Structure 1
């Protein structure tokens, strides 16, 4: 209640000053990492002065006057990347490590060697127009990027690594990435049609904005797409889009903006896929299993998409996994800036109604039919097709089949309401200038969701679509039910594991402030933030024990009989929820110095300590103290990250060079999906400390018709302490490569533009045991545009032109005895053509 009261109080304070509103802070944004001129609504370069960087700082300033490591991607650069996902975009910013198959929602994002213990973005906050998409970026089955899209309405992406990110945003000790929308400063727009040439995916993007009068302007934009996608699944796996709109009223001294967003988008989950490993642990080779091409296939088909399960109230229901990863968001917001008595006051408010779904298939036990059938139904077992054109027929060959853990997360309500109010003033003090800022951040984040897990059996569809399989014993007793082996987990894992239901509320209030004193070429800064959180609600799970029921016989298919799987369906103990009730607080701070040596050159240094509240993962069945309603002390309520950085910035009209050396350290108490010596997935509890140091480089050069942007990061990370498994102390955290690199060279002619995006990642270790080496990769993605007439643009983007097998995640810890494990890979060669009309 206290948070909502503050929300409406600050909203009332904002709207009561509309008579004196004026200049827009949103216009104080740069359009490239070299702070070049912004693009107009057509995507053409408009003549405008260099603008300031505003994300994660107290006040927008020139990049050379700020003691931060930051990058900006312009709208033109975004269109050339050949990727559309948030995690795919972040692969083109130094210091970030993002694992993705170019799908929003099943990704892992980290920064500066901080650990990738789980999916999502635990250490990095993803923002849209200066406010967080979700308060916690690593909500299980509901990560922030699931509700964020890039389209023509996006003006630029600003990112800050370390620095003041931890004091100007909550739960962002590693950094902040801000996706900034167009607001209609320049009249014009574009409609763009794109289509896959080697795959079925069609998309339309639109963007239009303009001044309405001397003081009013607006922008509206969005996209819609539909198609099977770049991998074969047999149905339209991509379906949906978004619309965003805003209107701005400018006044003498400020502005006020109203905006809204509607998102409803479905994507397939390009998750882990079965492969065979050969070679050595140091030089592993990835091979196909039974002709299953991991670059062109996904573990889904129209035959395996639907299956029965229970709903949140233990009633029979049916899951449609063709929904894939679905993000739904309806947002309304208010942004304002005004001057009062020498103070510049800004306020940002947004309410978002958030929902969605998550579907995944994880191959667990796979091999030839003769082997798997014996393991599941004993010697002499028979295998038959459960559905499809051969339903009821016996499988007579020894085809490759997989026992699959299928997860479904129903995100019924991840609603959030956020308000950020701040005031700044510049004072003349002695021979220098003092800038002071005070702010108050409030948010309310709901987590209303439940998970279901089902074990199914299917083939790999080597001669058609993936098909569910049934097993009977040698005596004819059916072990499966339409391809379902267990309504819960099987294969030796307790059936009720991870069947959880959450109904939680997070209220956060965070006052913050900063000072910056500039005298001559030297600027000294300090900022502090005090996060206070209140958590309440309940978690329902049979895994809590204490006499809670774990299963019950339920006729899920309604045929009047109970099959073997239906005789023990995992249920939620609805009458025995476990309460959650606790509070937390922590202080973050940052101190810095910046010295502008000359007009094109500056040096800086900074030390920061930031915090991150542990979200829903801290109150699960194995982490919640049932007596207190708070996380166990082993887990804790927040995590601390310490960082130091020093660097220099050099910028002229043709050349920019930004170099930062960094050190980061944190602790982590979490659960991560790992891989054992048999190549199978396992959930491992971790409690350890991490440390990383390295160098980030970003630069650009332009001469005549040629330009190039480059970035690289070197990271030396280690597990500095481990309280549960001392054997890994000194090892490199999994999936953290020593070196990562990108380059974007291009040549611009009068009406023709050609270039390429090159992304390279060095090898890393597949797991924390540091035995199996995960291969690195180099991806080359050329692009070209041609303008045959004014306002008409033809485009061609080829992602991964050499069809490289780029391993995102390798599940095994060593090459298993049978050579079988799972991997996640980026898409293979994907060719997309587009035609755009600007007006």
Structure 2
């Protein structure tokens, strides 16, 4: 009831968060140059400001840059932003994203809020199997992307102390559009993009756009793995003293989501040599296959159900929003944004629990002397005479299929604020106050099963059955158990929890000509209500027997059937709160040079990441240890210099960050309670001279684990934290031609907090070429990972195992696309 009243009051006033303002106060135009000193920053600030005059670290990518880079996913695009680590190796979703100085301690974007037009895609960026980037696509609807790192992100958005990445839509204020067709030259991709915007009258305009894409994709999976698209539209009506804008979005898309894959590693932990396994390349292959199509299990109501293995990451999002700004009294401006999003889908992806030579894997399941029989594919039923040649490499992998149903990840969000400028005689003060409210549903079913399959590329992997030495079949069509057999039968779960978030906030900024001082506060409070049900929630083992094939007998696999204890759901019922603040100052040393400093303290509610942990009582769903168990905190100190002049833009920021969190990891299930500290330097710049331009950034970080439940890792570097991460673009452009190279790279890092096995550094080079032979026509080529490098972003093992096989995730191999675009 409290939420409905708060939300109704806000919606009645109109619709939320900081409006996209141009310098003259009108609604923002569709595209601004990257790093241009005239770009007005609208993300995580009290009012639109010139970048040189802000006391925050912010970067921007415009629509032209996005088109040139041709990112394969929203996370791939985010990789281009200095100071942000985006491990974009999982496909078009499921990326791990973090801001400089803050660890990648979970999947997803734990400390970053991904926004569309100033409101979150999901309230929490790291919902397990429901990451925010799953529901975000970068297409021609995007006018520009703004990224604020640290600073005021703590106080101008909830659950985002690390930063805010805001995908800002075109509005149609600038008339025009395009239709573009794209095909893969070395892989199967067919894509159509379109967008168009125009004025309907002197005071109204619209924009509509979207894409549809189909094909196998860069990874050889053997079937049409990518299929779907989205359409977005908005309509704006201006009036005296303001405007109102309506947004709509429909996203329906299915793509593979890539988890760590089998990889061979030789050498030492400190100097490893990662290599592709024979007949399996982690850049272009995966454990998805044309010959593995269905997953039989009990559903969330304990009824037998067959799911499509090829669903992969399937998302459906339908949203509607209203944005408004109105001057309701002399000097007072009210802005409001509201959005309702109906989000659902599924996450189906094979996770290799272990990899080994085929006979050893078979013996581990059926005992010594077991026989292997092909269970799917064109040779199903054939006995494997020589396991050492199976699949071209003699390997099998025990797979836990992450089959998670995203029943409801719906979000209602509203952000209301009022602001006024005050003349103080020689200075100006801007006061802003507001209230944010959201309701995030997390309703998911974890319906995992376990298989044995070959390690083969080109979509040719098959399931195998294991026959013990006595001739008894141990598996059912490759199924070892209708449960997470290789994880100790854990994790048959249902989450059905509603998270309400409320946050009053206020800021004041003083502008003394060359000196700007600002401070802001935010008080987040909220509640979690619902139930969780799980086979590992203290109500028995959660394992039963079920006769799936109705033959009147229970096979060994059927005897390992995971079931949800539906009559013993655990309550979730707690309240929480935390306080955030940010103080900053910026001084214009000259018209082209400024210095800034900022200190911020923020937090985030860890939401479903704290469930099934001691943080939440198994008896009444309360917090026996208080808010500390469900709130992670981040303290940040940053300062630097900004220069903009004569075609040259330079930004240097030194930073210190301290993070404290409690977290529950899966695969395997581990509880962590860790504190981290990091210092570093972030550099960003661009220079234009005639038709040439160069831009880039680099972030150096020295991070350390200061406290941990695992005393052996204290003093170590957090996993996957490289000393240096960098990116850059060189471009030549005239009326006829645009061409350039883009580079993204990282130095070595450690796979795990134990600091044994290293992930090698890599540099990915992308290239683009576009020519305009006719007016309004452009022909282009884009090559991602031009030199086809391996780029490992994570690995499960902390050290090289005895068989030299680890599970690691690499970026995609080289892919080349050709496009034809017609502008109008």
TM (norm. structure 1) is 0.94
Query: 5 Å matches for 1:406-421?
Result: 406-421=401-416
CA drift at 1:435: 0.5
Segment of structure 1 superposing worse, 649-658 or 2-11: 2-11
CA drift at 1:86: 1.8
Does residue 611 in structure 1 map to residue 611 in structure 2?
no
Is the Cα–Cα contact under 8 Å of residues 75 and 93 in structure 2 kept in the other structure? Answer: no
Q: 1: distance between equivalents of 2:400 and 2:686? A: 46
Q: 2: distance between equivalents of 1:154 and 1:87? A: 14
Q: 1: distance between equivalents of 2:99 and 2:293? A: 35
Q: 2: distance between equivalents of 1:810 and 1:5? A: 47
Query: 5 Å matches for 1:89-128?
Result: 89-101=77-89, 103-128=91-116
Change (3 A) 1:178 1:462: closer
Query: 5 Å matches for 1:442-591?
Result: 442-461=437-456, 465-491=460-486, 493-495=487-489, 497-546=490-539, 548=540, 550-591=542-583
What is the aligned partner in structure 1 of residue 14 from structure 2?
14
Q: 2: distance between equivalents of 1:817 and 1:631? A: 43
Is the Cα–Cα contact under 8 Å of residues 29 and 52 in structure 1 kept in the other structure? Answer: no
Q: 2: distance between equivalents of 1:194 and 1:450? A: 36
- Structure 2 counterpart of 1:751, from 727, 732, 736: 736
Could you give the per-residue CA deviations for residues 320-378 of structure 1, whole angstroms, max 9, x where no partner exists?
12111112110000000011212011000000001011012111232222222222112
What is the aligned partner in structure 2 of residue 736 from structure 1?
721
Does residue 205 in structure 1 map to residue 193 in structure 2?
yes
CA drift at 1:653: 4.1
What is the aligned partner in structure 1 of residue 690 from structure 2?
704
Is the Cα–Cα contact under 8 Å of residues 543 and 621 in structure 1 kept in the other structure? Answer: no
Change (3 A) 1:694 1:26: farther
What is the aligned partner in structure 1 of residue 18 from structure 2?
none
Q: 2: distance between equivalents of 1:467 and 1:374? A: 18
Query: 5 Å matches for 1:147-166?
Result: 147-166=135-154
Query: 5 Å matches for 1:626-775?
Result: 626-633=618-625, 636-672=629-665, 682-722=668-708, 724-775=709-760
Is the Cα–Cα contact under 8 Å of residues 500 and 526 in structure 2 kept in the other structure? Answer: yes
Q: 1: distance between equivalents of 2:501 and 2:110? A: 17
Segment of structure 1 superposing worse, 384-393 or 225-234: 384-393
What is the aligned partner in structure 1 of residue 815 from structure 2?
830
Is the Cα–Cα contact under 8 Å of residues 233 and 298 in structure 1 kept in the other structure? Answer: yes
Segment of structure 1 superposing worse, 767-776 or 664-673: 664-673
Q: Find the residue that maps to 2:568 and give its secondary structure.
A: coil
Is the Cα–Cα contact under 8 Å of residues 154 and 602 in structure 2 kept in the other structure? Answer: yes
- Structure 1 counterpart of 2:353, from 346, 354, 364: 364
What is the aligned partner in structure 1 of residue 790 from structure 2?
805
Could you give the per-residue CA deviations for residues 656-705 of structure 1, whole angstroms, max 9, x where no partner exists?
001111111011211335xxxxxxx6343211110011111111000011
Could you give the per-residue CA deviations for residues 250-295 of structure 1, whole angstroms, max 9, x where no partner exists?
0111000011000011111122110111011121111222321112
Q: 1: distance between equivalents of 2:339 and 2:583? A: 30
Q: 1: distance between equivalents of 2:136 and 2:563? A: 33
Does residue 287 in structure 1 map to residue 287 in structure 2?
no
Q: Find the residue that maps to 1:83 and give its secondary structure.
A: coil
What is the aligned partner in structure 1 of residue 257 from structure 2?
269
Could you give the per-residue CA deviations for residues 563-599 of structure 1, whole angstroms, max 9, x where no partner exists?
2211231100001100011101111001111111221
Is the Cα–Cα contact under 8 Å of residues 615 and 629 in structure 2 kept in the other structure? Answer: no
Q: Find the residue that maps to 2:69 and give its secondary structure.
A: coil
Is the Cα–Cα contact under 8 Å of residues 618 and 631 in structure 1 kept in the other structure? Answer: no
Is the Cα–Cα contact under 8 Å of residues 106 and 271 in structure 1 kept in the other structure? Answer: no
- Structure 2 counterpart of 1:132, from 120, 125, 132: 120
CA drift at 1:818: 1.2
What is the aligned partner in structure 1 of residue 2 from structure 2?
2
Change (3 A) 1:30 1:464: closer
Q: 1: distance between equivalents of 2:55 and 2:549? A: 62
- Structure 2 counterpart of 1:77, from 25, 46, 65: 65
Query: 5 Å matches for 1:791-802?
Result: 791-802=776-787
Does residue 347 in structure 1 map to residue 361 in structure 2?
no
Q: 2: distance between equivalents of 1:403 and 1:620? A: 25
What is the aligned partner in structure 2 of residue 435 from structure 1?
430
Could you give the per-residue CA deviations for residues 61-81 of structure 1, whole angstroms, max 9, x where no partner exists?
111111000000011111122
CA drift at 1:550: 1.1
Q: 2: distance between equivalents of 1:369 and 1:326? A: 32
Q: 2: distance between equivalents of 1:90 and 1:26? A: 25
Could you give the per-residue CA deviations for residues 378-428 of structure 1, whole angstroms, max 9, x where no partner exists?
222111111222121111222221111111110110111011000110001
Q: 1: distance between equivalents of 2:36 and 2:103? A: 31
Q: Considering only aligned residues, what root-mean-square deviation do their CA atoms show, in Å?
A: 1.8
Change (3 A) 1:587 1:26: farther
Q: 2: distance between equivalents of 1:28 and 1:837? A: 21
How many residues align structurally?
811
CA drift at 1:560: 4.7
Change (3 A) 1:421 1:464: closer
Query: 5 Å matches for 1:384-403?
Result: 384-398=373-387, 399=390, 400-403=395-398
Please list every run of 5 or more consecutive structure 1 residues that lacks an aligned counterpart in the other structure: 16-20, 37-49, 674-680
Q: 2: distance between equivalents of 1:420 and 1:477? A: 63
CA drift at 1:549: 6.0
CA drift at 1:627: 2.5
Q: 1: distance between equivalents of 2:212 and 2:385? A: 44
Q: Find the residue that maps to 1:11 and give its secondary structure.
A: helix
Q: Find the residue that maps to 2:384 and give its secondary structure.
A: coil
CA drift at 1:561: 3.9
CA drift at 1:106: 1.8
Is the Cα–Cα contact under 8 Å of residues 241 and 264 in structure 1 kept in the other structure? Answer: yes
Q: Find the residue that maps to 1:289 and give its secondary structure.
A: coil
CA drift at 1:33: 4.1
What is the aligned partner in structure 1 of residue 362 from structure 2?
373
Q: 1: distance between equivalents of 2:598 and 2:806? A: 44
- Structure 2 counterpart of 1:425, from 420, 426, 449: 420
Q: 2: distance between equivalents of 1:102 and 1:195? A: 21
What is the aligned partner in structure 2 of residue 45 from structure 1?
none
What is the aligned partner in structure 2 of residue 676 from structure 1?
none
Q: Find the residue that maps to 1:630 and give its secondary structure.
A: coil
TM (norm. structure 2) is 0.96
CA drift at 1:813: 1.0
Q: 2: distance between equivalents of 1:127 and 1:84? A: 18
Is the Cα–Cα contact under 8 Å of residues 329 and 355 in structure 1 kept in the other structure? Answer: yes
Is the Cα–Cα contact under 8 Å of residues 471 and 480 in structure 1 kept in the other structure? Answer: yes
Could you give the per-residue CA deviations for residues 452-489 of structure 1, whole angstroms, max 9, x where no partner exists?
22110111236971111111111111100011001112
Please list every run of 5 or more consecutive structure 2 residues that lacks an aligned counterpart in the other structure: 16-20
What is the aligned partner in structure 2 of residue 35 from structure 1?
36
Q: 2: distance between equivalents of 1:836 and 1:109? A: 32
CA drift at 1:35: 2.2
Query: 5 Å matches for 1:188-267?
Result: 188-267=176-255
Q: 2: distance between equivalents of 1:801 and 1:281? A: 29
Q: Find the residue that maps to 1:246 and give its secondary structure.
A: strand
